[in-house]
Amino acid sequence: GGANDDQHREDDGEGDADGNIGRTPQDPTSAERMTQKRPAPYSPKEKKKTFRDQCMKRLVEAYEMKAQSSKQSATSQVVDHQRDEIASMLDQVIKDGADEESDEHFYASQLLKKKENRDVFITLKTPNGRLIWLRRSWEIRKKN
């Protein structure tokens, strides 16, 4: 009979049409196991989401870096440099004998906002020369 022939063929080591010897459909070969669907965490949809997340992360990082660099841009440094330069010159005015409450200190705080005045102030050699220059420059400024 036919049923005995099928049984006999499976047990005799000849194998089935796919060359699987003594295996049942429930017992896949290692090659078949590799081609089977993987569990959900490794599905292509998850990979796409991860790629999108990486892209978003890179985009956010790029914007953060741009924000950082714009804070440290040339314009910002010039403004900070200007403030530091004015502050050091106002310190010099105090060392020259004009307290913060004095007219000369006030004149300096107004006059030294302009670069041309800072350029002149920095070239003056003596405390008295700087204070006299501040008074005269203020008087000239008031007349104009």
Supply the pLDDT for residue 127: 97
Predicted local distance difference test score (pLDDT) of residue 68: 80
**What is the pLDDT averaged over residues 53-62?**
87
One domain, residues 94 and 131: yes
Whole-number pLDDT of residue 137 = 97
Q: Do 51 and 95 belong to one domain?
A: no
Q: What is the mean pLDDT of residues 93-120?
A: 96
Give the per-residue SS3 of the chain: CHHHHHHHHHHCCCCCCCCCCCCCCCCCCHHHHHHCCCCHHHCHHHHHHHHHHHHHHHHHHHHHHHHHHHHCCHHHHHHHHHHHHHHHHHHHHHHCCCCCCCHHHHHHHHHCCCHHHHHHHHHCCCHHHHHHHHHHHHHHHHHC
Tell me: do 81 and 136 sit in the same domain: yes
Whether the predicted pLDDT of 140 surpasses 90:
yes
pLDDT higher than threshold 80 for residue 80: no
pLDDT for res 40? 59
pLDDT beyond 70 at 56: yes
Q: Which of 53, 71, 89 is the last residue of a domain?
A: 71
The domain containing residue 23 runs over which residues? 2-35
Residues 27 and 49 placed together within one structural domain of the fold: no
Please check whether residues 92 and 129 belong to one and the same domain.
Answer: yes
